[in-house]
Structure formats: C-alpha cells, structure tokens
Structure 1
C-alpha cells in the first residue's frame, strides 16, 4: 500500500527496526542471527523482508523506520538486502514505513556518491550508522563528508551506541569492539554539524550518563529506547525521559530481536508520566520526521 502516514490513527512510531531478508534472495542467512536470538532468549531470530515487516506493523497500527546495515569494510560483503531494495519496497508501503539507508564510512568518496544517490533517487529519510560493527569512531573526520551530505538535505543520522548484544557470547565478541559506541564521540559530531538531527540509539550501556549529557546539551540530539526491555532501563534514563528530555526520547524496539508488543507491555509498567507516554510513543518521532496531518512533509 502506498499513501501518507496517518499519525492520528497510529498507536506508535518505532524508530528502530532491521530488515534482514531480501525478497530477491529470501534464503540468505546473516551471520550472528543465531547468537543474537540466543542472547535475547528468543530462540532462532526471525527475519523479515520489507513487505513482511510492513504488514506486521500495519496490523498493529504502527509505523516503523526500516534499514539494513552496511559494514562492507569489516565483512567484505555489501548489505543484504541492499539499500536500494529497502527504499524501493518501503516506498510501496509508505503508509507505515520510513526508509533509512546505511553507508559504511570506509567507502570514502564512493560512499558519499552512493548516499547522494540514495537520497536524491530513492528518497531515504535518514541514515543508520553502527560504529561497533563498522569499526569507526563517529568523530573521525573521514566520516564527515557523509555527515555534511546528511545535514545538507535535512535528514536524520541514527547511531548505535553502547553494548546491546551484537557479538555477545561469540568468540572474541564476534570481533566487535564496544569502544566505538561511546555516545560521547557524538558530542563532537553534534557540535560540528549543529543543523543535523542525531539519534543516539539504545540505552547506552555502560555510558548512560554520557548519552544523557550530550542529549541535554545539544538541541538536535535525541535518544531512542531500542534494544532493551523497559524493565531494565536505568533510573536516570527514566528520570530524564520524564523531565528534561521528555520531547527528545523516542520509542524504538530493535525489531525483530525485541517485538513492539514485548517492549510496550514492559513500558506500561514503567513509571512514566501519563502526559509523557504519547510523546515517547509517537509525538516526538512525528515531529522529528515532519509527519503532520497525515502527510510526510519535510520539516520546515
């Protein structure tokens, strides 16, 4: 289905979901899926194509940001599904999906050209970065040409922060180095790109205070709550979500490792003020993505 996202009739907007399966190559399995399923105690982790994910969220009256992860510098492989497939199929389900792209900063100038094409020809609305998997510090100047492009087009940059299970339990942590995911590195990015909206993904274990500090200090830095059940949120995160950051905290599940049902069930038991709940579940995201009156208009 194509059409504008009807914010008024949504239960929530999930700003953090992963597409792990291509419609063109449905049988390709991602390495690490079994370990992730074991870490999150969900058995074999299910995988979804873009149309399957769209139907899943449509049935629940939710919208979702969708993306793949490009870590070609570490894996040697292009992302599967490709950014182009994610964007094209999301456009066919624009009533519930918001397409993001992922470009490994190690691609250099070629990556910037790719990102520009994904913006101008495929209409992506933001970019997902995974410093731990892509093995780069976000404030490394080699990544700045990508950020310049994102800022130029008024898009959103979402960065994995902290340790949320990727590589956990695998030999040597699957080669993943948690050090790259310290949210304090994003303070430099927020200072150097003051007109770019930045989302710090996940409760940033073990750097929760750093994430809160950056988000309270930099006007265009947000925090998404994906990758953790709300029952495990640290108390200072709950405190700030209720007060200083009430308009800068976003619902995210990290689907499919955590379902929106499980997340929201635990969220109901969290001590969040009644007037703050709708802000976190959809209003903050609707404002961030410029979704107003059933349109996908760009922010003014």
Structure 2
C-alpha cells in the first residue's frame, strides 16, 4: 500500500453485499434505513472502487451474529479477505467471529489469520449478545493477541434494531465501553478500538482510552457536528494520537463525514493525525521515504 497517496484511512466500513448474489435484496440495510436513510449495499470490489476514487484506504468487514440471530452473515469473512487481496492498495480486511460459537470461534479465527491473512477483528457486543469482558470470549482474544492484531468493538447506541418492537432484541448494555477496560488489562498487548462516539457512555470511553495505552477510539457512525464536546476537546489534546477517522459506511458516507469534520474547531496539526497518521501507526503501515528524507 502506497500510503503517501492516501488522504485518509477509514477504519470502519461494512460490506453488505456478496459478489455471488444475483440481485440485491436490501434486507441487510432495511432495519437501518429508518435511522440513516437509504443505504447502498456494495460488494468488496465496489467498495474498493469507491475508496480508490477518493484516494482513501478502508478497513472492511461483516458482522457475525449467528448466536443471537440464528443466521450466517450475508457476506462471508473468506469472501471479504479473498476479494480484498485483489485491492491491497486500498482495502484492509478485518474478520468477524461471534464469540458465542465457543471453541469453534477459536478455530475459525486461527484459520482466518493463517489462511486468509485478515488484519484485525470486529465485534458488536449488542448484536452478538455478549459482554466483552466475559471470560468465555477470552480464548478468542488470545488468538487475536497472539497474532498481534487489533480488535474493534462497537460501543454505545446502535441503529441495529432501533425503532423495532423490543429493539429487535438488541440490548444496549453489552456495549458500554467500560467493559473493555477489563479486556485492556487482561490483554495489554492487543490493540483495542472503541468504535463510535459512545453515547450515552462517552466519558467512560474517554477514560478507558486515556488510561490504557493500547486503546483507541474511532469516530464513526455519527456526523462530527453531533460529537459530544468532551470528545472534541480530548481529540484535540490528550487523545490526539488515539483517535481515528471512521465513517461507518454505508450508514454514513466519508464525504458527509469529512465535510462536517472540516467545520470542527481542531488544531491544524491534529487533523492529519485523526484522518491518517494514527491509523498508519496502529496498522503498522509506513510512509515511503522520499529522496530528501
């Protein structure tokens, strides 16, 4: 990946369509449409084209929530990894494995790392129905930590199930970022990304990220104009090297996010950290040296 050409790295994007589908059913995004409006469902190649046009890189993943829903993911981890390998200049494939799979989750994660080269793992505690600090999930984290890969956890409110009867069975309690404090203590060498402004637990997220050196916050899922003031203040100061650009595409487009981000009152030196440089460091990507350097 030639990182010098990149204007930004979007660390939070969803793959909602498979290249094997004959037609787009819309089922993956119907429940989110009431929250975010019409949501395009793109395949991995379509996502690569979308981000290439913008000179950006993107972390791509699905969500495996088979324990709660009883359904396999519409797009497999294997497809995402294999398709992303065709676009190494643009895409960084993460995997999602439901901790509720038990011992099988450990085997699946190890295979995805060793055979498919995934670069990290995505968890959605509310959708998957588990507390991140449940010891039952620890064998899965051990595989991720052993490989030196980051784990990204949804936090706070979610559009999944919003407005549905009983919230579609989604329980928000699982996504309090304070649960990740235990995980950060027990896996001190596993990078952890707390996804989204963690409404209504923003202060908890800031506390964990400020206290644990391997914990980051991504800013996806909310337009920057709605960011809590304490998040903006710390992103501009104490946590300026711990905050990452993420859009939550296709729920929110990077174009919309960046337009609103430009209006935030941030120091000039902080903006490139959030948009690109913090992610370069986290993912072990290095800017190619110029002749002058």
Give the TM-score category using the shorter length: over 0.9
Match of 2:14? 18
State the alpha-carbon separation in 2 of the partners of residues 59 and 230 from structure 1.
23
> Do residues 133 (structure 1) and 124 (structure 2) align?
no
Matches within 5 A, 1:103-142: 103-142=97-136
Q: Offset at 1:258?
A: 0.3
Partner of 1:35: 31
2:272 pairs with 253, 269, 278, which one? 278
The partner residue of 2:55 within 61, 68, 71 is 61
| 1:148-203 Cα deviation digits (max 9, x unpaired) | 11110000000000003221111111111000000000000000000000000000
- In structure 2, relative to structure 1, the CA distance for the partners of 1:26 and 1:157 (3 Å cut) is farther
Task: Note closer, same or farther for the CA distance 1:108–1:294 as it changes in structure 2 (3 Å cut).
Answer: farther
Find the residue that maps to 2:151 and give its secondary structure: strand
Given that residues 17 and 24 in structure 2 are in contact (C-alpha distance below 8 angstroms), is that contact kept between their aligned partners in structure 1? yes
2:26–2:41 CA contact under 8 A, matched in 1: no
Aligned partners of 2:154, 2:212: CA distance in 1, in Å? 18
Q: Distance in 2 between matches of 1:68 and 1:271?
A: 33
CA gap of 1:100–1:294, structure 2 versus 1, over 3 A, is farther
Taking only aligned residues, the RMSD between alpha carbons, in angstroms, comes to: 1.2
What corresponds to 1:171 in structure 2?
165
Aligned partners of 1:164 and 1:228 also within 8 Å? no
Question: How far is the alpha carbon of 1:30 from its aligned partner?
Answer: 5.8
Q: Residue 76 of structure 2 corresponds to which residue in structure 1?
A: 82
In structure 2, how many angstroms separate the alpha carbons of the residues matched to 1:75 and 1:91? Answer: 29
1:200-279 aligned at under 5 Å gives the runs: 200-279=194-273
Q: Shift of residue 77 of structure 1? A: 1.5
The alpha-carbon deviation at position 26 of structure 1 amounts to 4.6
Q: What is the aligned partner in structure 2 of residue 298 from structure 1? A: none
- 1:14 counterpart SS class: strand
- 5+ unaligned residues in a row in structure 2: which ranges? none
Mapping for residues 144-159 of structure 1, pairs under 5 Å:
144-159=138-153
Unmatched 5+ stretches in structure 1: 296-300
- TM-score, structure 2 length as denominator? 0.96
Contact 1:164 1:202 in 2 (8 A): no
Q: Distance in 2 between matches of 1:192 and 1:122?
A: 27
CA contact (8 A) 1:201 1:225 kept: yes
Distance 2:76 2:158 in 1: 24
